[in-house]
Amino acid sequence: MIEVQNLSHHFELGKKGNKTTIQVLKDISFHIKNGEIVTVVGKSGSGKSTLLNLISGFIHPTNGAIWVDEEKVTDFNEAKFADFRLKKMGFIFQSFQLIPSMTAYQNVELPLILNGESESSRKQKAMKVLEKVGLSQFGEHYPSELSGGQQQRVSIARALVLEPPLILADEPTGSLDSDTESELLQFIKQLNQELGITFLIITHDEEVASIGHRKITIHDGIVIEEAVNDNEL
Side by side, the strands of the sheet bearing 166-170 are: 89-93, 166-170, 198-203, 37-41, 214-219, 222-228
- Please list the pLDDT of the chain residue by residue as tens digits (233 residues): 999 999 999 988 877 778 888 899 999 999 999 999 999 998 888 999 999 999 999 999 999 999 999 999 999 999 999 999 999 999 998 888 999 999 999 999 999 999 999 999 999 999 999 998 889 999 999 999 999 889 999 999 999 999 999 999 998 888 888 888 888 888 899 889 988 999 999 998 888 998 999 999 999 999 999 989 875 44
Q: Give the pLDDT of residue 233.
A: 44
Residues of 67-81 as b/e, b for ≥16 C-beta within 10 angstroms? bbbeeebbebeeeeb
* Cβ atoms of residues 202 and 52 within 8 Å: yes
The domain 34-60+84-228 is placed in CATH, from the list 3.20.20.70, 3.30.365.10, 3.40.50.300, 3.40.30.10, at 3.40.50.300
